Amino acid sequence: SFHASHFDFLLRGPSDPLPSNPLREWLPNLAWSMVISLTELDDFEGFAQTMEKEAPNRFKDWFNELAPEDSKLPLHWKGLDTNYFQKLLVIRCLRPDRMAIALTTWIRGALPDSKEYMECDASL
């Protein structure tokens, strides 16, 4: 399902001050700040706690993937693969460097005849 607040988060990201980062060993402070802001959205309430307390090493492994957009998130968050738009929000927080590729994946799955839009060339 589509939530306007999720779309707004995807486009703008948070503007909150940086909270203390308990995962600073491997996670940039800005990424932790984005995760904290993400938890304010519906369906993401426990995300920061899961990262910090339940599976920090598994999230670190996901974070370090070459193509995390193609990998399942740890624990029950792997269910976001069935709603790729929501997975985009996690990617936006943790791996913004992969957003262009992740958006391409989402567009290909969301738009009818998306291949025509994504693989067009100058001959059109």
User: What is the tens place of the pLDDT at every residue in 29-80?
Assistant: 989 999 999 999 999 999 999 999 999 999 999 999 999 999 999 999 999 9
Which residues have C-beta within 8 Å of that of residue 112, sequence separation ≥ 6? Answer: none
Average pLDDT over residues 87-95: 96
Average pLDDT over residues 84-100: 95
CB 68 within 8 A of CB 62: yes
Task: Say how far apart CA 40 and CA 43 lie, in whole Å.
Answer: 9
The whole-model pTM stands at 0.84
Q: Which 8-state DSSP code applies to residue 24?
A: T
CB 54 within 8 A of CB 75: yes
Q: Is 124 exposed, middle or buried (CB count within 10 Å of its CB: 0-12, 13-18, 19+)?
A: exposed
Task: Say how far apart CA 109 and CA 105 lie, in whole Å.
Answer: 6
CB 19 within 8 A of CB 33: yes
